[in-house]
Amino acid sequence: MKTLADLAKAYNVSPQAVAKWRDKAVEKYGELPCQPDGKRKLYDDNQVEKILEFKPGKTEAIPTTTEILTGNHRVPGELAMMPQTVDLGAFRGDAEMTVFNTEALGAVDQALDLADQMLDAIDSDTNYQIEQLQRTQKSNLKLQRKVDQLNTRKQQYQIESRLLAISQGKEAQQLQDNMQTLQNLGQAQQPQISPNEAG
């Protein structure tokens, strides 16, 4: 299983070049099955072979010209000599075209690689932000439930405390009354002396 980046490294070309081979293979064979591996796509040997089918081949050798002598029995005729150089500008007129050499176009491949790196970085950072948001939402949900639970318990606590305070007040008052009654009962009654007994 290989990725487009693996093929680019193996054949010393840019990932964009391999992507163009893949696109041509898709045009000819239809969608190429692949196995996702994170952000990468893995192609089996069969699909790789279809992709490499569109890899530019080796430069064909320019055939050499062999001089063939006709002998001395022929009289050469005189023909107009062709010019050593031909200026196509005479045919084009005043039309001009801006062209770029291989080195200049290499900068485009570098720019494309940079753009891919930036896209990967953006995707990575977006996933990080999403993860942070999800973790924050999860924590906030837990905290909100606990706050709601505390508020509910607070209201119950206030009611319970009020009722308990009322009950405690009644019990405390009754306790004080009973203690006072018992104190009164425990005190000895002083006998009352009549006036006759005093005389």
- Looking at 44-58, 67-81, 163-177, which range is the least confident one? 67-81
pLDDT for position 73: 61
DSSP bridge partners of 35:
42
Q: Rounded mean pLDDT of 147-170?
A: 96
Question: Which pTM was predicted?
Answer: 0.38
pLDDT for position 65: 56
Between residues 103 and 112, which one has the greater pLDDT?
112
DSSP bridge partners of 42:
35
User: Are the CB atoms for 89 and 56 separated by under 8 Å?
Assistant: no
pLDDT for position 63: 47
Nearest Cα neighbor of 2 from 47, 54, 53, 55 is: 47
Nearest Cα neighbor of 25 from 51, 43, 57, 64 is: 51
Banded model confidence at residue 58, pLDDT cuts 50, 70, 90? very low
Q: Rounded mean pLDDT of 159-185?
A: 94
In angstroms, the CA 114 to CA 20 distance is 18
In angstroms, the CA 168 to CA 171 distance is 5
Instruction: Give me the amino acid identity at 64.
Output: T
Tell me whether residue 13 is exposed, middle or buried, using C-beta atoms within 10 angstroms of its C-beta: 0 to 12, 13 to 18, 19 or more: middle
Model confidence over 14-33: pLDDT tens digits?
Answer: 889 999 999 999 998 888 88
DSSP 8-state secondary structure symbol assigned to residue 12: T
Taking 70 as the threshold, does the pLDDT of residue 88 lie above it?
A: yes
